[in-house]
């Protein structure tokens, strides 16, 4: 493959994945709002409502506060949406793999996940609003809190794949091609379930959703980080949130639900790719319904000190227990106790 072909493939994939990521992300937000409404015995907005909201925001005036750092205030939303879209370049979408997959792994994805949140923090501080400043401080505390449990999930899964002899265990293509469920025994199964639970609890915090949305907290901070944003800038942050919703769903699917329809049903290559993509979206919808929609409908917002306690103490302990169980499982499979 020539360099020109490689650059061309990456350019085409980047454009395609950006369009797909925005459309799919907004669709997921629509599904979330519709399902939440039905859970609360309401009709709720139509599925197209997020698309309508973005269109309206793009047509509205973009206001910059007089005491804001204008260039940083306007730059933060672009960084947020661009970094969210870049993450998708490294994630498998069903049986579709990006040309960038071989150049990045799960560790890179973890680093990239912090950039949209950091962009929001920078935008909050740059706005000059005391509400946004408090929201930015809370966002930084929340980020520090959930990074350790998230790292435990990544390390636990990759370590177990490496112990099973899988090459490049941090590559998402290796992880999705070797489901961890098929590599563990009964003890390891419990460990994997614990890691699934940890990632499920981390996801709402990554997406700034209830019960971990202390950085926005409309009833306390009037919107927090985004209180001064409007027009195009607010639309970009909204799109970033939509794309990141797809990203988190894709990560959970790649780590723990990587199966494709084409692996079980013979079909032409093009049809297989489309079927796998549709099946991937279905899995993402189901996952986000369970870990985001159901949770935010059934729970109230936690205080910031409770958020830190949940992640640093309880989830860290659960994640460590999951890793230890995976290590014990690998030892038992390598040298069974009855020998």
For the chain, give every domain's residue range: 3-334
Q: What pLDDT is recorded for position 336?
A: 55
* Bridge partners for 93 per DSSP: 96
Give residue for tokens 């014990």.
328
Torsion of CA 66, 68, 71, 75, to 10 degrees: -120
pLDDT of residue 335: 60
Report how far residue 178's alpha carbon sits from residue 300's, in angstroms, rounded to the nearest whole number: 38
Do the beta carbons of residue 102 and residue 281 sit within 8 Å? no
If we measure between CA atoms, which residue out of 310, 278, 279, 312 comes closest to residue 295? 310
How large is the greatest C-alpha to C-alpha distance in the chain, in angstroms?
75
pLDDT of residue 212: 81
Contact by Cβ (8 Å): 91, 171: no
Q: For residue 142, which of 297, 323, 320, 302 has the smallest C-alpha distance? A: 302
8 A C-beta contact, residue 10 and residue 3: no
Provide the H-helix boundaries in the chain.
3-39, 49-59, 70-88, 106-126, 130-163, 172-177, 186-206, 218-221, 231-256, 269-288, 294-298, 304-309, 316-334
Residue 103 is given by DSSP the state: G
Per-residue pLDDT for the chain (339 aa), expressed as one digit of tens each? 444 457 777 788 888 899 999 999 999 999 999 999 999 888 889 999 999 999 999 998 888 888 888 899 999 999 999 999 999 888 888 888 777 777 777 888 888 999 998 998 898 888 888 888 888 888 888 888 899 999 999 999 999 998 888 888 888 888 888 889 988 989 999 999 999 999 999 999 888 888 887 777 666 556 667 888 888 999 999 999 999 999 999 999 999 999 988 878 777 888 888 999 999 999 999 999 999 999 988 887 888 888 889 998 999 999 999 999 999 988 887 665 444
Contact at 8 Å (CB) between 28 and 198? no
**Residue 1's pLDDT is what?**
43
Q: What is the pLDDT of residue 32?
A: 93
Give the angle 303-317-117 at the CA atoms, nearest 5°: 50
Q: Of 171, 12, 173, 10, which is closest to residue 104 (Cα–Cα)?
A: 171
Residue with tokens 């369009």: 19
């Amino acid at each position: 493959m020539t360099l020109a072909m490689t650059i061309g493939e990456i350019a085409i994939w980047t454009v395609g994945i950006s369009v797909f990521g925005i459309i799919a992300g907004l669709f997921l937000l629509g599904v979330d709002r519709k399902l939440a409404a039905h859970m609360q015995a309401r009709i709720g907005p139509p599925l197209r409502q997020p698309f309508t909201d973005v269109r309206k925001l793009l047509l509205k005036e973009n206001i910059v506060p007089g005491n804001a750092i204008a260039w940083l205030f306007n730059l933060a939303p672009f960084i947020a949406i661009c970094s969210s879209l870049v993450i998708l370049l490294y994630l498998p979408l069903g049986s579709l793999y990006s040309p960038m997959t071989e150049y990045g792994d799960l560790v890179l994805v973890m680093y990239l996940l912090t950039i949209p949140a950091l962009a929001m923090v920078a935008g909050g501080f740059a706005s000059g609003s005391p509400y946004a400043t408090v929201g930015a401080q809370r966002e930084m505390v929340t980020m520090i809190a959930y990074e350790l449990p998230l790292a435990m999930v990544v390390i636990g899964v990759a370590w177990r794949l490496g112990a099973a002899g899988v090459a490049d265990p941090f590559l998402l293509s290796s992880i999705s091609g070797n489901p961890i469920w098929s590599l563990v025994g009964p003890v390891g199964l419990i460990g994997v379930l614990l890691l699934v639970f940890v990632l499920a609890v981390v996801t709402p915090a990554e997406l700034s959703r209830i019960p971990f949305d202390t950085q926005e907290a409309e009833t306390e901070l009037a919107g927090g980080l985004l209180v001064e944003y409007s027009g195009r800038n607010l639309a970009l942050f909204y799109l970033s949130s939509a794309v990141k919703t797809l990203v988190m769903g894709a990560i959970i699917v790649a780590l723990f639900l990587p199966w494709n329809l084409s692996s079980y049903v013979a079909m032409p290559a093009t049809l297989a790719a489309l079927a796998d993509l549709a099946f991937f979206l279905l899995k993402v919808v189901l996952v986000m319904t369970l870990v985001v929609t159901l949770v935010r409908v059934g729970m109230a917002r936690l205080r910031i000190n409770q958020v830190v306690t949940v992640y640093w103490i309880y989830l860290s302990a659960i994640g460590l227990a999951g890793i230890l169980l995976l290590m014990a499982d690998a030892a038992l499979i390598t040298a069974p106790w009855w020998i």
